[in-house]
A = this chain, B = another copy of it.
Amino acid sequence: MRVKSRSEEVVNAIGKDIVNGVISPGERLPKVEELSEDYGVSRTVMREALQGLAARKIIRANQRSGTVVLPRNEWQLWDLSVMSWLSESEQRNEKFLLDLTEVRLGLEPDAAALAAKNATEEEKAKITACFERLEQTLDDPKAWAAADYDFHLSIIEATNNQLMAGLLKLLHKGLILSREKTVTSLNEHTELQQEQPTTEILNRHRNLYEAVISGDAEQAKSVMTDMILRVRQLIEATQEQQI
Contacts and interface: CB of A to CB of B under 8 A. Distances in A.
Interface stretch (A97-105, A144-152, A234-242): A97-105
Interface stretch (A106-114, A123-131, A192-200, A201-209): A106-114
Contact of A163 (B48, B56, B77, B165): B77
A166 B171 CA distance: 13
Given A73-B162, A162-B73, A103 B55 contact: no
A48 B32 CA distance: 15
Given A56-B55, A106-B110, A72 B161 contact: no
A167 B161 CA distance: 16
A76 interface: yes
A144 to B, nearest CB: 25
A183 B140 CA distance: 55
Counting every copy of the chain, the complex holds: 2
A107 B103 contact: yes
Interface residues of A, number: 36
A185 interface: no
Contacts of A161: 99, 102-103
A78 B165 CA distance: 11
20 contacts: A7-B51, A44-B47, A48-B48, A51-B51, A51-B52, A51-B55, A55-B55, A55-B56, A55-B79, A73-B162, A73-B165, A75-B166, A77-B162, A78-B170, A79-B79, A100-B163, A103-B161, A103-B163, A106-B109, A106-B111
